[in-house]
Each structure stands twice: as C-alpha cells, then as structure tokens.
C-alpha cells in the first residue's frame, strides 16, 4: 500500500470527509417509454441524508379516506405514491404500516417494503419486518405481490396470499423498486398491463427488488409539485418522500463507512510504484523483527 493511499484512509477513518449536498438531484420525475409502455417514473436517491420516507394516512386516521390532492396538500412531500390496498367496506389497509418507528396499523397479509434509519431499503416478509429492531425497520409498508427478487422476476401472488382476481388481470399499475445503488423507483403505468409487464419494466429501469402497490382506481403518483397520476377514488394511505430539516447523521455515517470500504478495496488492488517496493518492504519487515 502506498503512503498516499494510507494517508487517504487515515483521513477517511478520522471522519474528515465532505459529503456533497446532492438534494437538488435527489427527486427526479419523468414520463418515458419503458419496454414500449409509457410510464411516469420518479427516481429518489436514498443516499441523500436530507431524504426521509414515511407513510401518510388519511386525515381521520386508520379506517378513513381522503382525496389524493388533499393528502398531498397537507404533507407537502417531494413525491408520493399510492400505498397498500384497503377494504372498500371498512377502509382498513390489508398490510402493516409503520412510520417513523411507530406502528400505525397491523394488517393480515402482504410483503413488506422496509427502510432503516440509514435510508437503506429492502423488501422482505412482514414477519421478518415485525421482528426487526426499530432502527432496521423505521418505515414499513406491506403491499404486494413481489415483482422482483435479486434482479429476477419473482411473481407468485397466490403463494403470498393474494386471492383477488384482479391480480391476474390487466389494470393500471403502481409499484416501487430498489436499485443496487440504493435508489428508489416509483412507477405509475396509466395503461392497463399485467403484473408481469410491470415487473419487467422495473427490471429494465435498474431495479433489483420490486413490489406492487395498490393500482386500478387507486393509482396515484405525485412529484415536484405535479400530480402525474390522479386516482379515481379517495385513498387511505400513501408512501411519501420528505426532506429532513437537518441531514441525518446515521446516513452520513453510512456514506462515510462505504467510502472507507471503497478506498480500502482500491488500496488492496493498488500496484507498487516500483518493482523493488515489495522487496524493500520484505527487507524492512525482516530488519524490524525483534
């Protein structure tokens, strides 16, 4: 390892690292064609320490509904998408909802979209999400079915407890995806498509994990002051993207640690500046032995 790389690692380990403020590029929306299908796509950089995900419920709380525009006006998020399914009779969500570490609702089924305090996101079973510590499951929204796992289409609604026939029909869809770089993809497809089409679209966008959200008449998407998809009914919950008042020290610490690890990997691959360097280092090691 050269002296310059050792110095870089020393600086990084001491925490003297500047994390650029990337908040201006952290929430980007666009209308685009994906695999020949038009969709609205919002990309959220979860590595921005100013970003926070949470779940917004209707003004009357669990078991009530509210118009999408009203919910957006109240929370003023940078982005929002339809959350989990709910009963049209009781208005109760089908899945668990945890926001800012607080349990808002316990549902009966669904697959969990989870974010930790350091803004890392994952998709897991609701049982695993319930057993996870609060800092590892600060936000939980159970929906489904699973669309992608480990970069591959993994679609089996029946095995995950979904019995509604609309799961197999063509309908307007919404979903969330997670990329390998910890970016969140929010997608709304205004043309009726099968879930398999939605899964392949998210894969083409770079997602390695993905989950369907409520769709059909509930399809809704908002970003940067614009309603991109307007639902045909009142909603009970939304997944929203907010900006923190202060950057999260937990996210900053994760970014610092990841950069230290990256530099360590680069240092391990670093070739000596001169062919004699390894021999000199061996000689010094022998001399320094007691």
Whether residue 17 is contained in a domain is answered as: no
Long-range pairs, 61-65, Cβ under 8 A, ≥24: 62/92, 62/93, 62/97, 62/104, 62/105, 62/236, 63/90, 63/91, 63/92, 63/236, 64/91, 64/236, 65/91, 65/233, 65/234, 65/235, 65/236
Helix (DSSP H) and strand (DSSP E) numbers for the chain: 6, 17
Do both 175 and 210 map to the same domain? yes
Determine the pLDDT at residue 210: 98
Between residues 48 and 282, which one has the greater pLDDT?
48
In a domain, 16, yes or no: no
Average pLDDT over residues 162-183: 95
**pLDDT tops 70 at residue 281:** no
**3-state SS class at 261:** helix
Nearest alpha carbon to residue 56 among 77, 85, 42, 41 = 77
Tell me, what's the pLDDT at 25? Answer: 86
pTM of the model: 0.83
State whether 35 and 109 are in the same domain: yes
Interval 15-64: pLDDT, tens: 333 334 435 589 999 999 999 999 999 999 999 999 999 999 999 999 99
The whole-angstrom separation of Cα 59 and Cα 54 is 15
Domain presence at residue 273:
yes
Residue 261 and residue 227 in one domain: no
**Which domain covers residue 262, as residue numbers?**
3-11+249-287
Q: What is the pLDDT of residue 270?
A: 67
Tell me: pLDDT of 9 over 50: no
How much is the mean pLDDT over the chain? 88
Residue-wise pLDDT for 247-263, tens only, equals 889 999 998 888 888 88
**pLDDT tens across 95-147, in order?**
999 999 999 999 999 999 999 999 999 999 999 999 999 999 999 999 999 99
Rg over CA atoms, the chain: 23
If one counts the domains in the chain, the total is 2
> Is there a single domain that holds both residue 44 and residue 142?
yes
**How far is it, in rounded angstroms, from Cα 36 to Cα 31?**
12
Tell me how far apart the alpha carbons of residues 232 and 210 are, in angstroms, rounded to a whole number: 24
**Mean pLDDT on 230-236:** 98
């Amino acid at each position: 390892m050269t002296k310059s790389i050792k110095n870089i690692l020393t600086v990084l380990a001491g925490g003297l690292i500047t994390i650029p403020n990337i908040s201006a590029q952290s929430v980007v929306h666009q209308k685009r064609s994906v695999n020949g299908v038009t969709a609205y796509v919002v990309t959220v950089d979860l590595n921005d320490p100013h970003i926070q995900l949470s779940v917004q419920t209707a003004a009357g709380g669990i078991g009530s509904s509210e118009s999408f525009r009203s919910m957006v006006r109240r929370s003023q998020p940078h982005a929002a998408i339809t959350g989990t399914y709910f009963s049209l009779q009781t208005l109760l969500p089908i899945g668990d909802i945890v926001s800012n570490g607080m349990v808002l609702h316990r549902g009966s089924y669904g697959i969990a979209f989870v974010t930790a305090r350091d803004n890392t996101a994952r998709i897991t079973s609701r049982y695993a999400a319930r057993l996870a510590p609060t800092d590892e499951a600060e936000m939980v929204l159970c929906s489904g079915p699973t669309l992608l796992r480990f970069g591959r289409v993994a679609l089996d609604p029946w095995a995950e407890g979904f019995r509604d026939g609309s799961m197999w029909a063509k309908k307007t869809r919404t979903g969330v995806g997670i990329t390998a770089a910890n970016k969140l993809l929010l997608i709304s497809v205004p043309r009726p498509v099968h879930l398999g089409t939605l899964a392949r679209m998210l894969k083409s966008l770079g997602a390695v994990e993905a989950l369907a959200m409520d769709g059909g008449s509930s399809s809704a998407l908002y970003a940067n002051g614009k309603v991109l998809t307007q639902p045909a009914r009142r909603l009970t919950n939304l997944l929203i993207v907010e900006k923190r008042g202060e950057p999260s020290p937990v996210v900053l610490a994760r970014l610092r640690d990841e950069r230290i690890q990256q530099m360590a990997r680069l240092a391990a691959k670093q070739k000596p500046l001169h062919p004699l360097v390894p021999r000199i280092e061996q000689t010094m090691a022998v001399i320094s032995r007691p």
